[in-house]
Copies of this chain bind each other. A is one copy, B any other.
Amino acid sequence: MVIDAAAFGERRVLITGGLGFIGSSIAHRLVALGAQVSLLDVLLANNGGTPLNIRGIEDKVGVFYGDIRDRDLLRRLVAGQDFIFNLAGQVNYRESLANPFLDLDISCAGHLSLLEACRSVNSGARVVFASSRLVYGRQPSAPVSETASPDPLTLYGIHKLTAERYHQLYWRSFGIHTAVLRITNPYGPRQNVQNGRYGIVNWFLRLAMEGGVIRIYGDGGQKRDVIFIDDLVDAFLAAATTPAAAGQIFNAGSGQTAALREIAAAAIATAGKGRIEHVEWPAAEQQMETGDFIVDITKARRLLRLGPATTLAEGLRKTRCFYEDHAMGH
């Protein structure tokens, strides 16, 4: 879908988690399309968000440093918005069991407070929620379509699934336009690369660009669907502007599958340096490992009319250029 500037020009948009990788990327796009953008972010420690992500548009967006769990604030922010991109969340699935109540609080109470705010002050807003492929867990067959039975292996995945159902319930019960995107492995400019917690593709690229060692558990043969951020932003905007997307869940992937060792090799090729080292699987990681994840993106392609995906080589090149111009600590 070629996103129509008219759909967003002068329109009011709220992005929760707006200083994060995906939220800020949506913000950059929307500012270019002429939207009036507000960002909500609490800048949770070790969660990836940073004001650096809005460099270049800092005077064109309103930033609200607040918590999605703050119901009064939410009611004020939600009022009058045409679109809401709901990306706030605890991002690290590995740590969801280390602090289960925090994960519950942010991932469930937070989204419930957003939806309750819509219900009470703005049921006409169109909401798109960022879910994750991790709701699927290990699946017996591939490619995985949206009708597969979710089987999350982590508390993170369980809570994402719960929040998905909240969004669907508010569509069914109150007619609020909500669409859910189950994001595969996103990468690209602005993803935090301070450490390996945020995204495997960017992390591999960082290591390669520094001429470092990319450590891969086992043979690295497990497959992933990787989606470049620009394509993912397209999917978010289309899910907000497509009436038929209301109440729907979409796999938001590229349909391009690569083994982790192939992603590492591509990162090394893009950087012109770096090397791979295979190491043994830590037991805790193996328990959360989903195995190959190959995704069926037919539904999103058809209903959201998304164009062809950026290739991994091209996406990595653009990402490299971004990090050449910006500090890695970004």
Copies of this chain, complex-wide, total 2
Q: Which of A145-160 contact B (CB under 8 A)?
A: 147, 149, 152-155, 158-159
Bound: A161/B150 CA distance, A: 12
- CB-defined contacts of A100 to chain B, threshold 8 Å: 112, 116
A31 within 8 A of B: no
Bound: A298/B112 CA distance, A: 37
Contact partner, A169, options B112, B155, B172, Cβ 8 Å = B155
Q: Do residues A149 and B152 form an inter-chain contact, with CB atoms below 8 A? A: no
Contact partner, A104, options B109, B152, B161, Cβ 8 Å = B109
A141 within 8 A of B: no
Given contacts A97-B173, A108-B104, contact A158 B153 (CB under 8 A): no
Bound: A91/B14 CA distance, A: 36
Minimum Cβ distance to chain B for residue A159 (Å): 8
Given contacts A101-B112, A104-B108, A112-B104, contact A162 B172 (CB under 8 A): no
Bound: A152/B97 CA distance, A: 25
Bound: A158/B169 CA distance, A: 9
Minimum Cβ distance to chain B for residue A167 (Å): 11
Please, what's the 1-or-0 string for A163-181, where 1 marks a CB less than 8 Å from any CB in chain B? 0011001001100000000
Q: Do residues A287 and B112 form an inter-chain contact, with CB atoms below 8 A? A: no
Q: Do residues A287 and B101 form an inter-chain contact, with CB atoms below 8 A? A: no
The 6 A-B pairs of least Cβ separation, nearest first, read A158-B165, A162-B162, A100-B112, A104-B108, A149-B149, A104-B109
29 contacts between A and B (CB under 8 A): A97-B169, A97-B173, A100-B112, A100-B116, A101-B109, A101-B112, A101-B113, A104-B108, A104-B109, A104-B112, A108-B108, A108-B162, A147-B149, A149-B149, A152-B165, A152-B169, A153-B169, A153-B172, A154-B169, A155-B166, A155-B169, A158-B162, A158-B165, A158-B166, A158-B169, A161-B162, A161-B165, A162-B162, A172-B287
Please name 14 further chain A to chain B contacts, defined as beta carbons within 8 Å, in addition to the given A152-B169, A155-B166, sorted by A numbering: A97-B173, A101-B109, A101-B112, A104-B112, A108-B108, A108-B162, A153-B172, A158-B162, A158-B165, A158-B166, A161-B162, A162-B162, A172-B287, A173-B287
